[in-house]
Amino acid sequence: SHPIIFDTDPGVDDAQAIAIALRHPELDLLGLTTTYGNVDVETATHNALLLSELAGKDIPVAQGAAAPMVKTRHPPPAHIHGANGLGDIDLPPVAGKADPRSAAQFIVDTLSARPGEVTLVAVGPVGNLAAALQLDPTITEKVKRVVIMGGSIREGGNVTPVAEANMFNDPDAASRVLTAGWPLTLVGLDVTHRCVLTGEHMTRIEAGQGELGKILAGSYGFYRDFYREFLGIDGCCPHDSCALAWLLRPELFTTAHGHLTVATSGDAEGQTIFAPQGRGFIETRWSRTPLVEVCLGVDGQAVSDWIADTL
Ligand code: BDR
Ligand code: CA
């Protein structure tokens, strides 16, 4: 099984992915680390604790970034995820407390304790990963792989014409994380926009997940309204679960290797820029950055079904 740390800003699609991380027999969830993004960081931590408790698990939850490294925070998208991050449904109280360590410290400690073994999966703005790199640059050699839901290679953006939300929310952190030289796979909108969790999927999920199922189904309804109104689709994109789908079912994805940067200012702020390996671009700052892997294609139906079946 894969030992993972899951860095998240829950968030409706984050909650779905957390449920997979908590329950999938091939995943060993060592901890949840939280960041602002879809909600403020305190709400993210609350939701992470709640989901873990409802799954009957006592997983460490370490709180992280409350704001971007350099820029001012964008307001949380309450029209997409609800003000409470879970579609504004009523939530039961939380009994547990967060780990006393910061998310960055938790990441450094966990990677250092098991060098070469732990995969870091990040599905929110990546400030915690950048902060962990600052605390201990040698984690680039200790992590097994970094898997990031974020960015967009050919698909265009979802918060600006060119930027995906997780990159846009902290482009300065993303720039450091994408060029840090660790084994990295980007799971971006090119594949997450091909996956749709339908109402029929959700009916099955609700039936199979007890208390947790009620939260997943209730928050799904709110999130789906957004997709219907703004994107005209019947269902929602399970962005964050796609990162776990890539980890466990890579054969459902096509990928390419190359150099990846993110624009940190101007009209392109938050845009991921991918230079495929071996394309013979003139010597640029792109070709001097380390090689990473990006997802370009997916069997969207198979991944959507895999997510629903897993949940
Ligand atoms: C990403 O942005 C967030 O709103 C979602 O949770 C996902 O991580 C998609 O762009
Ligand atoms: Ca997210």
Active site residue 9: yes
140-194, pLDDT tens digit by residue? 999 999 999 999 999 999 999 999 999 999 999 999 999 999 999 999 999 999 9
CA 280 / ligand 1 centre spacing (Å): 33
pLDDT classification of 282: cutoffs 50, 70, 90: low
Active site residue 88: no
Q: What average pLDDT does the structure give for the chain?
A: 95
> 155, 239, 271: which to mutate for ligand 1, most atoms within 8 A of CB?
239
Q: Which of 80-84, 192-196, 214-218, 286-290 has the lowest mean pLDDT?
A: 286-290
Pocket-forming residues, ligand 1, beta carbon under 6 Å: 11, 13-14, 38, 123-124, 149, 158, 164-166, 239-240
Better pLDDT: 212 or 251 = 251
Is the pLDDT at 288 greater than 80, yes or no?
A: no
Check 7, 9, 14, 170 and give the catalytic one: 9
CA 25 / ligand 2 centre spacing (Å): 22
Looking at residue 283, its pLDDT comes to: 65
259: number of Cβ within 10 Å: 22
Is the pLDDT at 82 greater than 80, yes or no?
A: yes
> 79, 240, 244: which to mutate for ligand 1, most atoms within 8 A of CB?
240
**Contact, 36 vs 153, CB < 8 A?**
no
Side-chain-side CA neighbours of 11 within 13 Å: the count stands at: 32
CA 25 / ligand 1 centre spacing (Å): 25
Q: What is the mean pLDDT of residues 220-240?
A: 89
Q: Which ligand is nearest to the CA of 226?
A: 1
Q: Which two tokens stand for residue 274?
A: 């991918």
Q: What is the mean pLDDT of residues 129-145?
A: 98
Element holding 309 (H helix, E strand): helix 300-310
For the CA of 80, the closest atom of ligand 1 is 4
What are the Cα distances from residue 231, in Å, to 80, 133, 225, 249?
Answer: 12, 37, 10, 27
Check 201, 239, 240, 259 and give the catalytic one: 239
Q: Which two tokens stand for residue 116?
A: 């070469």
33-52, pLDDT tens digit by residue? 999 999 999 999 999 999 99
How many residues are listed for the chain in this entry?
Answer: 311
Looking at residue 265, its pLDDT comes to: 97
**Contact, 245 vs 306, CB < 8 A?**
yes
Phi/psi region, residue 82 (left: phi>0; alpha: psi -120 to 50; beta: rest), is left
CA 283 / ligand 2 centre spacing (Å): 34
For the CA of 189, the closest atom of ligand 1 is 10
For the CA of 77, the closest atom of ligand 1 is 4
Looking at residue 210, its pLDDT comes to: 83
**Predicted TM-score of the model (pTM):** 0.97
